[in-house]
Amino acid sequence: MGGWMQGEGETELKTRQSGNRLFLTSFGALYIADVQKEDALSTYRCITKHKYSGETRQSNGARLSVMDPTESTPSILDSFRPGEVQVGRSVELPCMASGYPNPTVRWLKDGRPLPADARWTRRLTGLTVSDLRLEDSGNYVCELTNSFGSKEVTGHLSVIDPLRVTLSPKNLKAGISSTLFFTCAVQGSPEFSVS
């Protein structure tokens, strides 16, 4: 478990606070959006806390030098890895960019632009998909473009439905020497079998 602190007053930086330009990525890195001159006035430190003992350690402070922007092609700072997520959960597909002028971001799924859907939220840090469905599985592309070029990153998301087994009937009365049947229904994705 870890985090970041800013300044001598030890302001703890969180994951994605609304209106805040400084936050943690899904991989624990510090992300500063729209760097300003005043960002150079702070010291930044990485803090880690042991999961079981609670022991805390922190790094030495680092400082930021802020320069005037130079024109550059987009580059990807944090991209997503293939993964499996269960139906109904949320996932963030990171795609953080740098470049000047600021690149525009476009998301595609299986080669097509993402349609409007309230479950998909585009952020500075990437794409968040809420209430996952099986049909959300696929190849996602994050395209970055500015007047000096473009860059893209592709990743695969697998949405899985957890195994559910239903036995029916739950209770059955039968006479001696009679024949009866219990059925076992299996649901989930990927396909499961009964043995």
Distances (CA, A) of 108 to 2, 94, 140, 141: 32, 14, 6, 5
CATH number of 2-63: 2.60.40.10
Which residue positions in the chain have pLDDT lower than 50?
A: 18
Ramachandran sector of residue 54 (left: φ over 0; alpha: ψ -120 to 50; beta: rest): left
Q: How far apart are CA 119 and CA 121, in angstroms?
A: 6
Q: Do 2-63 and 72-161 show the same overall fold?
A: yes
pLDDT reported for residue 18: 44
Q: Where are the domains of the chain?
A: 2-63, 72-161
pLDDT reported for residue 34: 80
Q: How far apart are CA 155 and CA 62, in angstroms?
A: 32
Which pair of structure tokens corresponds to residue 17?
């606070």
> Is the pTM of the predicted complex or chain greater than 0.75?
no
pLDDT reported for residue 47: 82
Partners of residue 118 on adjacent β-strands: none
Looking only at the bridges linking them, the beta strands covering 183-189 and 149-168 are antiparallel
In CATH, what class is 72-161?
Answer: mainly beta
CB 139 within 8 A of CB 155: yes
